[in-house]
Chain A
Amino acid sequence: MTDTPMTPRDRVLKLFAGEAIDRPPCFSGMGNVTAEGLKKFGYKFAAVHSDAKMMADSAASTYRLFGFECAVVPFDLCVEAEALGCGINVYSHLEDILYPTIKTKLINTEEEMDIAVPADLAERGRVPMMKEVIGRLKADVGKEVAIGAHVLGPFTLAGQVMELNTLLKLSFKKPDKIGKLLDTLASALVVIAGEYEDAGADYITVREMGATSDVLSPRVFKSLILPYLKKVFAALNKDTVIHICGKTNDIAVFMVESGAKAISVDQKNDIADTRKKIGDKALLFGNYDPYNVLVSGTAEQVRETMRQCLDNGVSAVWPGCDIWPTVPPENFHAMMDEVKQYRR
């Protein structure tokens, strides 16, 4: 160990670079806004998705309040679909925490599947705002923590822009047609993630949870999903993570093959088995349950889960999904403390 303690930013970037670090970081590539953070600023959850300052403040607060070793935006999964032309619902009429969803689809029939990437995609929807958010985070906490941003994977984005039922059935009946759509969506994602990189994001997480083995066979994953993930990762320049939740043990090797620098899985993954399959060198992030452990578990259960993740061989302690906002502060502190104390 060095005399000067590493900043969270050094720790994360060195981990990606394969350099020596003092301990595995505790961070995420997915949304991590907390109710505590919102309370600190008096922000309403429904309002933070469409205001650059509010989103940046909230994202940085998770580091400030708990020492979480990153700041990640956005908090919802609709930015890309919205930029492509979908309508979204942010549930501003409700006080409860509800994440924005897609209200109107871009593609309603099979005939409408022939879409192109809009030439002005980087200027559409909330993409310009996201660039501002990343810039603000960079200026605010960018020296201390790594700034993350996430986009959907091509298949999961397809599930946002068209009816999921139709997408799933066509991916079986007409894979060529779906492949063509995924190719277009991959190009769109490269544009958007590229903008995030230019704005200063240190790492990009691609969330392709629609292609989990709970839904699609590993065979279809390899033939229909993997080629377009490869296309996305080949075009990105910063550090990258591929995240898929649910059953992933049979596709973990393909996830590594996608070209992402790290793979991220959730609590359903048998980490020890995955570690064996992908080898010691591959970066494997995971895999605690952000609701059933971090929100509704006791502080002691949180600590035990963190030790298990590390014992099983994760390269970084990382949640299986977004941090659920109502995480009790004592649990968040217990998580950070346990990861810092852990010795293999």
Chain B
Amino acid sequence: MATDERKKEILEKLKNAVIQYDEDTAREGSEEALKEGLDANEAIFNGLVSGMEEVGRLFEAQEYFVPELLMCADALYAGLDILKPHVKQMDLGVKGSVVIGTVEGDVHDIGKNIVKMMFDVAGFQVYDLGKDVPLDKFVEEQMKTASDLVCLSAMMTTTMVGMKKVIDDLKAKNPNVKIMIGGAPVSADIAEKWGADGYSPDANNALKDAINMISSLKKLKEEAEQKKA
């Protein structure tokens, strides 16, 4: 079992690996975490995700842009791939599965992939339909998987309008499903008018929203641990 100091060192290593988009170090830190007996959940949340939180801040401050963000995400996944098989199922009161994809006519998936990454981190079952997804496919997949959440992404005004149809269909078939829409042309106004439950206008906001979600999971986790103690 690692000392507290060593544990801190490993978490810091994971965090910095994500910030500095260093996949090798993320892998190395993850191996060390496992070898030295760190809890995989802790390594993910207090190491990799902490790094991503800082990346979000750098992105917002316009020190980082999308290329850096993509490389940081690669580093996060490099660590996550090693740690995830060792995650003990957390009882957070949040379980879930999500259907996610970019609507038909739109072949841009960067924003979608960032949101997907945070769902992966949070332990959601993610059904990623990819890009240029026929509208009916979202409804079909939601029904098939009984997912709680459906995330629709569109980067262009020219494809955004297709989302309204998916929302209508989903809500008609399953009024309880939560729908998040995202992409550059999306606004609070449109989300409300079309009956979506949430929205993100850009990768920055998607990342922020996803981080907020993860941060609240982190809090839940800490609370659960305090109760245990």
Binding site for B on A (CB under 8 A): 89, 91, 94, 96-99, 101-102, 164-165, 168-169, 171-173, 213-217, 220, 246, 290-292, 296, 321-322, 324, 326
Contact = CB atoms under 8 A, between A and B. Distances in A.
Contacts of A94: 104
B70 A165 contact: yes
A96 B66 contact: no
A262 to B, nearest CB: 22
Contacts of B184: 214, 246
Given A291-B157, A292-B189, A169 B104 contact: no
A97 B68 CA distance: 34
Closest 5 CB pairs of A and B: A98-B105, A172-B67, A168-B67, A291-B157, A215-B66
Interface stretch (B106-114, B138-146, B172-180): B106-114
Given A169-B67, A172-B67, A99 B110 contact: no
A104 to B, nearest CB: 11
Contacts of B113: 165
Nearest to A172: B67
B116 to A, nearest CB: 13
Interface stretch (B3-11, B83-91, B158-166, B215-223): B158-166
B71 interface: yes
Contact of A98 (B67, B104, B108): B104
Mostly helix, strand, loop or mixed at chain A's interface?
loop
A321 B157 contact: yes
Contact of B157 (A102, A217, A246, A324): A324
B22 interface: no
Contact of A164 (B68, B105, B110): B110
Contacts of A296: 190
B62 A217 contact: yes
Given A215-B66, A217-B62, A322 B71 contact: no
A321 B159 CA distance: 13
Interface residues of B, number: 31
A99 B189 contact: no
Contacts of B53: none
B61 to A, nearest CB: 12
Interface string B41-52: 000000000000
A94 B107 CA distance: 17
B70 A101 contact: no
B164 to A, nearest CB: 11
A76 to B, nearest CB: 9
B132 interface: yes
Nearest to A31: B158
B105 A91 contact: yes
B142 to A, nearest CB: 20
A217 B104 contact: no
Given A164-B108, A172-B71, A292-B189, A217 B160 contact: no
B127 interface: no
B147 interface: no
Contact of B158 (A89, A164, A246, A324): A324
Given A168-B67, A172-B71, 7 more contacts: A97-B161, A98-B158, A168-B66, A292-B189, A321-B156, A322-B158, A324-B157
A8 to B, nearest CB: 25
B66 A216 contact: yes
Residue from B104, B157, B189 whose CB has the most chain A CB atoms within 10 Å: B157
A98 B107 contact: no
A193 B167 CA distance: 41
Contacts of B158: 97-99, 321-322, 324
B67 A214 contact: no
Contacts of B66: 168, 214-216
Interface in B152-208: 156-162, 184-185, 187, 189-190, 202-204
16 contacts: A97-B158, A101-B105, A101-B132, A164-B108, A164-B110, A165-B110, A168-B66, A169-B67, A171-B67, A172-B71, A214-B66, A220-B67, A291-B157, A292-B189, A322-B157, A324-B157
A343 B125 CA distance: 58
Given A165-B110, A168-B70, A171-B67, A292 B190 contact: yes
B69 to A, nearest CB: 9
Contacts of B62: 213, 217
Interface string B91-128: 00000000000001111101001000000000000000
A90 to B, nearest CB: 11
